[in-house]
Structure 1
Amino acid sequence: MKPYIIIFTLALASCAGNGSKNNNDTLAADSGKKDTSAATRLNTPAQNMEYCFVHTDGKNADDTTAVHLVINANKVSGDMSWLPKEKDRRKGTLLGTLEGDNIKAVWSFMQEGMKDTLAVEFKLSAQELAQKPMNLNTKTGREQVNTKADYSVIYKLDNCEKFRTK
Structure 2
Amino acid sequence: MKFKLGLICCIALAVASCTGNSTNKDGDTTLKKEDTAMANAPDAPAVNMEYCFYTTEGTAAQDTTKVSLHVNGNKVTGDMNWIPKEKDARKGTLMGNLNGNVIKALWSYGQEGGTDTLSVEFQLRGNQLAQKPYKYDAKTGKQQTDNAAGYTVIYNMKNCK
Q: TM-score range by the shorter chain?
A: 0.7 to 0.9
Counterpart of 1:142, as a letter, is K
Where does 1:55-94 land on structure 2 (aligned, <5 Å)? 55-94=55-94
Q: Deviations 1:96-150 (Å, cap 9, x if unpaired)?
A: 0000000000000100010110000000123110000000011111111100100
Cα 1:131/1:42, change in 2 over 3 Å:
closer
- How much has 1:160 moved relative to structure 2? 5.1
- How much has 1:42 moved relative to structure 2? 6.5
Counterpart of 2:78, as a letter, is G
- How much has 1:59 moved relative to structure 2? 1.7
| Unaligned runs of at least 5 residues, structure 2 | 1-32
- Percent pairwise identity: 54
- How much has 1:38 moved relative to structure 2? 3.3
Runs of 4+ in 1 over 6 A off after TM superposition: none
- How much has 1:48 moved relative to structure 2? 1.9
For the aligned residues, what is the CA RMSD? 1.7
Preserved contact between residue 97 and residue 104 of structure 1 (Cα < 8 Å): yes
Question: Partners in 2 of 1:120 and 1:53 — Cα distance?
Answer: 15
Counterpart of 1:129, as a letter, is L
Counterpart of 2:139, as a letter, is K
- Give secondary structure in 1 for the equivalent of 2:60: helix
Counterpart of 2:70, as a letter, is V
Question: Partners in 2 of 1:142 and 1:81 — Cα distance?
Answer: 18
Question: Partners in 1 of 2:41 and 2:104 — Cα distance?
Answer: 22
Counterpart of 1:38, as a letter, is E
Matching residue of 1:38: 34
Matched, 1:149 2:145: no
Where does 1:1-166 land on structure 2 (aligned, <5 Å)? 38=34, 41=40, 43-44=42-43, 45-159=45-159, 161=161
Cα 1:42/1:52, change in 2 over 3 Å:
closer
Question: Partners in 2 of 1:120 and 1:38 — Cα distance?
Answer: 29
Question: Partners in 2 of 1:132 and 1:83 — Cα distance?
Answer: 18
- How much has 1:47 moved relative to structure 2? 2.8
- Give secondary structure in 1 for the equivalent of 2:76: strand
Matching residue of 2:23: none
Question: Partners in 1 of 2:96 and 2:126 — Cα distance?
Answer: 18
Counterpart of 2:102, as a letter, is N
Counterpart of 1:82, as a letter, is W
